[in-house]
Amino acid sequence: MSLAGLMQRQSLLISDLLAHAATYHGDVEIVSHLHAGEVRRSNWRTVAHRAAQLAHALPTLGVAQGDRVATLAWNSDRHLELYYAVAGTGAVLHTVNPRLFPEQIAYILGHAADGVVFFDLDFADLLVKMAPQLTGVKRFVALCRADQLPTLDLPHLVSYESLIEGLPQQYDWPDLDEATASSMCYTSGTTGNPKGVLYSHRSTVLHSFALCAADGMALSARDSVLLAVPMFHVNAWGVPYAAAMCGAKLVLPGSGLSGERLYAHMVNEACTFSLGVPTVWLGFFQYIDQQGVALDLRALRLQRVVVGGSAAPRALIEKFEEKLGVFVIQSWGMTETSPVSTVVSLLPKHAGQALSDRFAVQSRQGRAIFGVEVAVFGADGQRLPHDGKSVGEIRVRGPWVLCAYYGNAPDSALDAQGWFSTGDVAYIDPDGFVQITDRSKDVIKSGGEWISSIDLENAAVGHPSVREAAVIGVPHSKWQERPLLIVVLKPGETLTGPQMMEFLTDRVVRWWLPDDVVFVDELPHTATGKLLKTRLREQFRDHRLPTDVA
Ligand code: ADP
């Protein structure tokens, strides 16, 4: 019989993260860029006080334990206070992506049965228009002061500041079971209805440890973090929680993610660390390139940048390193995995390596961090070896991977061995580095072989005139599908199809070369800034490839 350990059985709770930050890092700043240019400078102690006030206010809005509370909000200190107050009391914070279509937002609010919506004034008109559909929502709280509150046709509307004003700045946070739900996010649902993922206190705290670990993101008290990923995108990848665990400074940029704004925040707040999707960083470098010598890049203190959500193009990794001396930490994950699952962190063998070799390592999605088991399975369900060439679907399991979507029976998202199938296609090399080649629905099936759209896109954006590129499979009478490359050029640049093809010739294997290149002004993106390939496939459904002579 096993022997029970004699260690304390203390639950892993989100309220303890905030209590720790307030006690040991109380003066560390939380800087918010709000509506209409307003800047607020808070700190972890004040966030804790105001989260306590909000916790006292929640029952007055009818919020009880287990209830879902929605936000439609940018990154700000008030949103951070909601993260802690709602979860800390035992309710569930549901961060809604305001860039979704209104029908999807209405669906999500209804599905989650949110009774209260906290919103930034930017979304006031949207909510007023949607209000007749939001029958379950009983109360609306605008994230502003009383004097900023406009007259809006919304039931029981109140301003955030008047809601919490005068309430006690201490709260006796309940000793919840660590398995209690704390927050929820919906997948963006590019196919079918969005699905809810329900995180727990335990999964959130464990995920935070991983972000602070040296081979995770090495987030620490010495970091000033520019949160360039929205707090509605998978809890800003868990950083609002991990920052409290380690006492990092947070710079919350509101809605402004333009290259110019991000650059200014980084300089003004001495940011050492940032994170965001590739599109955000493309805009960042567009600004830097446009400004040229007018910018004194030495004013930047930036050291590390996490790029995730889509594959980080090698050209982006090179730019960060060569222009700014910044190390790109590529990370892979998804809403269903909290999200961080694999992270690029170097091994002893990479020390002293030539930069070009190191860029190749950083262009992969990284290795599994402890807490997420990552494996690749073939079409026959067999686990594939880490040989750097066996391509199959990634499955994951671990304490911050979901077991079921919200509303479904526990474990219903898992196979018999407890694996969750991600829908991503990859191989794993002998060092454990994952290389995502595609999402299973985006892979191009040419004559029984697979072509990676991601590899082709990365090669194309390596051309100095290219701003963004997408590759989709279009029907071909002989090969079933062949790649079509769709390119957006940088302003003022010119490039022809044959020049693009010539550039790609040395960079990808011959039979992967796209059968056609088209130039467009812009590409469609999902609500989280990823290429919307379903839309592109529709748009180019009837595109006739010049190679298709049948
Ligand atoms: P959605 O894209 O539906 O909004 P998520 O934000 O959860 O949902 O996206 C998860 C997906 O994003 C992953 O399954 C994967 O396809 C893609 N992804 C995330 N990070 C990376 C990365 N570093 N490289 C390639 N693909 C990535």
> CATH code at 45?
3.40.50.12780
User: Is 82 a member of any domain?
Assistant: yes
Residue 282, exposed/middle/buried by CB under 10 A (0-12, 13-18, 19+)? buried
CA–CA dist 281, 275 (Å, integer)? 9
User: Is 206 a member of any domain?
Assistant: no
User: Closest ligand 1 atom, CA of 528?
Assistant: 4
pLDDT at 530 over 90: no
User: Closest ligand 1 atom, CA of 342?
Assistant: 23
Range of the domain at 470: 444-539
531 residue type, one letter:
L
- The CA 320 to ligand 1 mean position distance, Å, reads 21
Give me the pLDDT at residue 189, please.
Answer: 61
Which residues are CB-neighbours of 114 under 8 A, at least 6 positions away? 68, 69, 70, 94, 136, 137
Cβ of 528 below 6 Å from ligand 1: yes
Cβ of 275 below 6 Å from ligand 1: no
pLDDT at 191 over 70: no
Q: What is the DSSP letter of 198?
A: E
Cβ of 439 below 6 Å from ligand 1: yes
Catalytic member of 129, 389, 445, 478:
445
Domain edge (last residue) among 200, 233, 251? 200
Total domains, the chain: 2
User: Is 380 a member of any domain?
Assistant: no
- The CA 195 to ligand 1 mean position distance, Å, reads 15
* Count of CB atoms situated within 10 Å of the CB of 529: 21
User: Is 303 a member of any domain?
Assistant: no
User: Is 284 a member of any domain?
Assistant: no
Pair 329, 345: CB distance under 8 Å: yes
Catalytic member of 450, 490, 534, 547:
450
User: Is 466 a member of any domain?
Assistant: yes
In 3D, which of 467, 479, 468 has the Cα closest to residue 513? 479
Instruction: Please give the C-alpha separations between residue 17 and each of 14, 101, 282, 413, in angstroms, as whole numbers.
Output: 5, 34, 33, 29
**pLDDT winner (highest mean) among 196-205, 503-512, 527-536:** 196-205
Q: State yes or no: cis peptide before 491, omega within 30 of 0.
A: no
Domain edge (last residue) among 200, 224, 245? 200
Confidence grade of residue 190 (pLDDT, cut at 50, 70, 90) = low
Joined together, the tokens standing for residue 322 give: 């060569």
Cβ of 453 below 6 Å from ligand 1: no
Is 319 an active-site residue? no
Terminal-residue alpha carbon distance, the chain: 72
* Count of CB atoms situated within 10 Å of the CB of 46: 19
CATH number at residue 535: 3.30.300.30
pLDDT tens per residue across span 315-336: 999 999 999 999 999 999 999 9
Confidence grade of residue 235 (pLDDT, cut at 50, 70, 90) = very high
pLDDT tens per residue across span 66-96: 999 999 999 999 999 999 999 999 999 999 9
Confidence grade of residue 160 (pLDDT, cut at 50, 70, 90) = very high
Cβ of 310 below 6 Å from ligand 1: yes
CA–CA dist 148, 159 (Å, integer)? 8
Which residues are CB-neighbours of 388 under 8 A, at least 6 positions away? 427, 428, 429, 430, 435
Q: What is the DSSP string of 391-419?
A: -EEEEEESTTS-SS-TTSPTTTTS-TTSP
CA–CA dist 285, 290 (Å, integer)? 8
Which residues are CB-neighbours of 402 under 8 A, at least 6 positions away? 197, 198, 336, 337, 413, 420
Cβ of 341 below 6 Å from ligand 1: no
In 3D, which of 62, 50, 52, 176 has the Cα closest to residue 114? 62
Give me the pLDDT at residue 414, please.
Answer: 98
pLDDT at 35 over 80: no
User: Is 419 a member of any domain?
Assistant: no
Domain edge (last residue) among 200, 235, 254? 200
User: Is 100 a member of any domain?
Assistant: yes
Give me the pLDDT at residue 113, please.
Answer: 98
Q: What is the chain's alpha carbon radius of gyration, rounded to the nearest angstrom?
A: 24
Count of residues in the chain: 550
Is 450 an active-site residue? yes
Is 445 an active-site residue? yes
Matching residue, tokens 């993101």 = 217
Pair 256, 276: CB distance under 8 Å: no
